Structure 1
Amino acid sequence: MKIYFHYSLEGFSNGYLVGNERSKEALIVDPGVMNRELLDHIEENRFQVAAILVTHSHESHWKGLDTLMKIYAPKIFAADAELGGCRTELLQGDGVFTAAGFAVRYFAAPGHSPDSLMYQIENVLFTGDALSAGRLGTTNNDYGKRNLLNHLKGKLLNQNDEVILMPGHGPPTTVGAERLYNIELTRESTIESLPLKDFTTDREPFRYM
C-alpha cells in the first residue's frame, strides 16, 4: 500500500491517494481538490481509480469530485446519498466493504457533522474531521462533543497504539500518541460531569473608585 498526501488550499484540508501496487488500483480519501499534482501521481503509477471515500459532506472534503468523475469512473462511498450531484454508495453505521483490492472498514463518528465517517485500511485510519493530532473535531454544542467522544472512545481508543491516524486537517498521528496527549479524548469526565465550583464569598464586592 502506498499513500500520497494532497493538500487543498481552498479548505486547508487533507486528501489522500491510496494505491494498491499489486492490483494497480487506487482509491482517494476526501478529494478536496483535483489538481495536476494528484493527476500526475495517479498516472505516473498507472493506477486505476476505483473508489472515492468521503468522510463527511463539508464541501472542502469533496470539491474535486466533479473533475475526478470526468476523468475516471470510480464508485463514491459516503454517508450521504448524493454529493455535488453525484450518486454514492450509501454507508450507515459501521461495516466493511472492498475497494481497490483493499478491505475497507468504516465507522460512524457523528459529532463534527451528523454524517461523519472514519475509514480504516490495514493499520491506517482516516479520521476526517472527527479528530486531528491532539484535538477533537469541532462540534456545535456539548451534546455533539459528548456524542463524538463516545464514538471515538469505542472505535478509536480500542485500536492498537501503532495504528496510524490520517486526519482531515493537520499532521498524521497515532492511536498511541492520542492516548497519551489528547486530553479531551482520554479524560474520564465530560463537561456535563465536572463539578460546579462555588464562587460565592463573604467579602465585600470590588468597587471602582
Structure 2
Amino acid sequence: MIIKKIVAGIYGVNCYIIGDNETKKCAVIDPGGNHKEILDEIDKSELDLEYIILTHGHGDHIGAVKELKDSTDAKILAHKEEKYILNNKEFNLTSIMSCEDVEIEADIYLNDKDKIGVGNLELEIIHTPGHTPGCICIKVGDVIFTGDTLFAGSIGRTDLEGGDYNTILNSLDKLAKLQDDLTVFPGHGPATRIGIEKVTNSFINNR
C-alpha cells in the first residue's frame, strides 16, 4: 500500500494519497488545497486517481476538490449526512475562510460499513458523527484515516454546524473498539495509534 501525506491549504490539513502498489489505482482523502502539489505527487508516483474521498465537508478539507475533479474526473465520495454541508458555503465555512466559496455535490454518497475498492485495496467506511453529522473514518488494512474525529491527544471541535459533543464521544467509543495496533492518520497533526489514544487521550480514557 502506498500512502503519501501532503499538508495542504492555509489551515494545514493532512491530505492523503492512498494507492495500490500493483494496479496503481489511488484515492485522495481530504484535498484541502495545493491541488498542483497533489497532482504532481500522483504523476510522480505513476498513480491513477479514481476517487476523492471527504471525511467531512468543512472548507479546510475540500478546498482543492473542484480542481482535482476537473483535472482527473475522479468521483467525489462523502457520507450522505454531509450533503447539506457540502452544498452550502455557509455551513461548510468557505464563505468565511480565506479561500474561494465552495458548494459541491458528491458523485457517490456513502453509508456506514460501505466498502470501496481501490485496485486491490478495500476501504471500509466507518460513520463517526460528532464533528459534523456526516463525518467518516476510512479503515484500510492496518491503518485508519480519522479526519477531524480523532487527533493525537485530542478530538475535533463540536461547536460548528451539525457538531455535537455527546455524539462525537459515542463515535470515539466505536473507534476504541478497533485493534490497538491500528495506525491513525488524522486530519491534522501527527500520526498515532488506537492503543496509544486509549491510554493517553482524555476524551477516550475518562469515559
* 1:87 Cα deviation from its structure 2 partner: 3.2
Q: Which residue of 1 aligns with 2:135?
A: 116
Preserved contact between residue 29 and residue 55 of structure 1 (Cα < 8 Å): yes
TM-score, length of structure 1 as denominator length: 0.83
Larger Rg: 1
Is it true that 1:147 corresponds to 2:164 in the alignment?
no
TM-score, length of structure 2 as denominator length: 0.83
Instruction: Find the aligned partners of 2:123 and 2:114 in 1 and give their Cα distance.
Output: 8
* 1:117 Cα deviation from its structure 2 partner: 0.7
Unaligned ranges ≥5, structure 2:
88-102
* 1:93 Cα deviation from its structure 2 partner: 2.9
* 1:119 Cα deviation from its structure 2 partner: 0.7
Preserved contact between residue 9 and residue 63 of structure 2 (Cα < 8 Å): no
Preserved contact between residue 27 and residue 100 of structure 1 (Cα < 8 Å): no
> Which structure 2 residues correspond to residues 69-84 of structure 1 after superposition, within 5 A?
69-79=69-79, 80-81=82-83, 84=103
Q: Which residue of 2 aligns with 1:174?
A: 193
SS of match in other structure, 2:37 = helix
* 1:9 Cα deviation from its structure 2 partner: 3.5
Is it true that 1:137 corresponds to 2:172 in the alignment?
no
Q: CA RMSD in A?
A: 1.8
Unaligned ranges ≥5, structure 1:
189-209
* 1:8 Cα deviation from its structure 2 partner: 1.8
* 1:30 Cα deviation from its structure 2 partner: 0.3
Residues 157-195 of structure 1, C-alpha deviations (whole Å, 9 max, x = no match):
11111101011111111011101100111213xxxxxxx
Q: Which residue of 1 aligns with 2:15?
A: 15
Residues 90-121 of structure 1, C-alpha deviations (whole Å, 9 max, x = no match):
01233322234321111111111111111111
SS of match in other structure, 2:197 = helix
Name the CA shift for 1:30/1:140 in 2 (closer, same or farther; >3 Å): same
Equivalent pairs, count: 186
Instruction: Find the aligned partners of 1:42 and 1:173 in 2 and give their Cα distance.
Output: 25
Name the CA shift for 1:113/1:159 in 2 (closer, same or farther; >3 Å): same
Is it true that 1:107 corresponds to 2:133 in the alignment?
no
Is it true that 1:63 corresponds to 2:82 in the alignment?
no
2:199 is matched by which residue type in structure 1?
A: L
Q: Which residue of 2 aligns with 1:3?
A: 3
Instruction: Find the aligned partners of 2:204 and 2:114 in 1 and give their Cα distance.
Output: 23
Preserved contact between residue 9 and residue 34 of structure 2 (Cα < 8 Å): no
* 1:86 Cα deviation from its structure 2 partner: 3.7
Q: Which residue of 2 aligns with 1:201?
A: none
Moved runs in structure 1, 4+ residues, more than 4 A? none
Preserved contact between residue 75 and residue 107 of structure 2 (Cα < 8 Å): yes
1:39 is matched by which residue type in structure 2?
A: L
Is it true that 1:26 corresponds to 2:46 in the alignment?
no
